[in-house]
A = this chain, B = another copy of it.
Amino acid sequence: MHQMVTELFPICRSITGDGVRATLKTIQSSVPIQIFEVPSGTKAFDWEVPREWNIRDAYILDGDGKRVVDWKSNNLHVVSYSVPVDRWIDLAELQQHLYSLEQQPDAIPYVTSYYKERWGFCLRHVDRLKLKEGIYRAVIDSSLGNGSLTYGEMVLPGTTKDEIFLSTYVCHPSMANNELSGPVVTVELAKWLASQPRRYTYRIVFIPETIGSLVYLSRHLNHLKKNVVAGFVITCVGDDRTYSFLPSRKGNTLADRAALNILGANYPHFDKYSFMDRGSDERQYCSPGVDLPMVSIMRSKYGTYPEYHTSLDNLSLVTPDGLAGAFTVLCDCLELLEHNRILQCTCLGEPQLGRRGLYPTVQRGPTPREATDMLNLLAYADGENDLIEISKIIQVPCSRLYATVDKLISVGLLKEIDVKLNKKTEVSVSGN
C-alpha cells in the first residue's frame, strides 16, 4: 500500500481536473472501477459542479529572474483553484496573495478557494521572511472552464441487495495521510472483498470531497437510503499513532455498533470523537433527510495532528504499519457485518450440550471458556439480539464467537435471522 501512496503522491489533484483523472486511472489499474464525468454546472442539492480547474506551471520570479517559489517542486505552493495570472507586482501587493504558517515556519500550508475567484501562493514562512523589497513576477498557468467532475465507482455484488458503502476521496494534492491513505486502503479493501464470499453488496466510491459526495448522493439518494445498511468514510488511515472513531449523526446505526465493537475489543484506547468533530463526507452522508448509517474509523483524525493540511503530511508520516493497521480494523468491521445476524436458540431451556460433545461430562472445576461462551450466547439468542448485541452483553469479542455460532448452527441449536433494514421511506431529492 505504501508503494501506491508513493506513486500517487506527486500528482496535483483538486476537486476537478486531470489530477483526479490520473489518480483514478492508477486506481483502475488495480481494481475495476468505472469512471464517471459530471459536467460543470450540474446541480447537486444546494450546490453545483464548478468549472474544471487545471494547472500546468506556477512560480514567482524575483527581480533577478530567480524562482523564489516553484510549483514544480511542491504542488502545495499554489492555492487550489487559483485563476491564471502573469503579473509584475511589488512585494506589498504580492504579500496579499501569500499564505504561510508563522507557527510552523518550515511547512507549506494547503489552501483552497474553490468557489471564489482568487489566486495565491503558499510557502514556508522561513522563505517568506527572506523575500526582499522589490518587484516580483507571479505566474500561474492554470485554466478554469467548462469541463467536468470526475469520480470512480465499483459495485461488488453479494448474495443480497443490501449494501455496504465505502467512500473515500481523491481531491487532495501532495499530502499522504490526508489524503492518499484513504484511496489506497480502499483499493486494498476492494481487492480483498473481491476475493471473499459476500452476503452484502459492496458499493465503493472514489470521489472529490464534499462536492463529489453531494453529486453522488443527488444521483443515488433513494437507492442508497433503501439499500445501505452500513458504510464507512475512509480517510486519514495512514499514520501509526492511534485509532480514531467518528460516529454517525444519530450515533446508534449498525455501522456505529460494528465499529465500536471492533475498536472496543481490539483497540480499547482508541480516540472517540463526537459528530460535532466531523469534517469529511459524513457531513453530507449523515445530513438530515439523508442519514445514511456511516461512520469513520481513522488513525490520526484530520485536524488533530500537527502535520495536517501542510507539506509535512508526507510519505514519512504515513507508514506501512499505519496503513496495514487501518486495513485490518476495517476488514474486521466488514467481517463482523458479514457475520452479524439476529440469533435464536431453537429449543426452550438450556440445550444439553454434553451429549453433543460440547460440554464436559464430568462436573467439576471451572467450565471451559468455549462451553461458557456457548451457554451465554444461547442465553441471549432470543430472536431479538444480534451477534453484536450479544457480544456486548456477554463481553466476548465477536471474532471469538464466529466459530461458536457455526458449531451451534451445525448441530441445530441455533438459527440465524437476517438483520432487516429498518423500513425507509423514499425521499424526494430537492434542490435539483
Interface residues of chain A, those whose CB is within 8 Å of chain B, are 44-47, 79, 99, 109-116, 118, 120, 210, 213-214, 217-218, 221, 249, 275-276, 278, 283-284, 286-291, 309, 344-352, 354-355, 361-364, 375-376, 378-383, 393-395, 413, 427, 429-431
A344 to B, closest residue via Cβ:
B288
Q: How far, in angstroms, from A364 to B383 measured CA to CA in the complex?
A: 51
Whether A112 pairs with B363 at a CB distance below 8 angstroms is yes
What distance in Å separates the Cβ of A412 from its nearest Cβ neighbour in chain B?
10
Whether B352 pairs with A284 at a CB distance below 8 angstroms is no
Contact partners of A218 in chain B: CB under 8 A:
348-349
Q: Given A47-B352, A309-B364, A379-B275, does the pair A345, B115 have CB atoms closer than 8 Å? A: no
Whether A349 pairs with B287 at a CB distance below 8 angstroms is yes
Q: Which of B284, B348, B380, B383 contacts A350 (CB 8 A)?
A: B284
Q: List 24 A-B contacts (CB under 8 A).
A: A45-B349, A46-B349, A79-B362, A99-B364, A109-B364, A111-B364, A112-B362, A114-B363, A115-B352, A115-B354, A115-B361, A116-B354, A116-B361, A214-B350, A218-B349, A275-B379, A276-B376, A278-B379, A283-B379, A288-B348, A288-B381, A290-B348, A291-B382, A347-B431
Contact partners of A289 in chain B: CB under 8 A:
345, 348, 382
A122 to B, closest residue via Cβ:
B364
Contact partners of A213 in chain B: CB under 8 A:
349
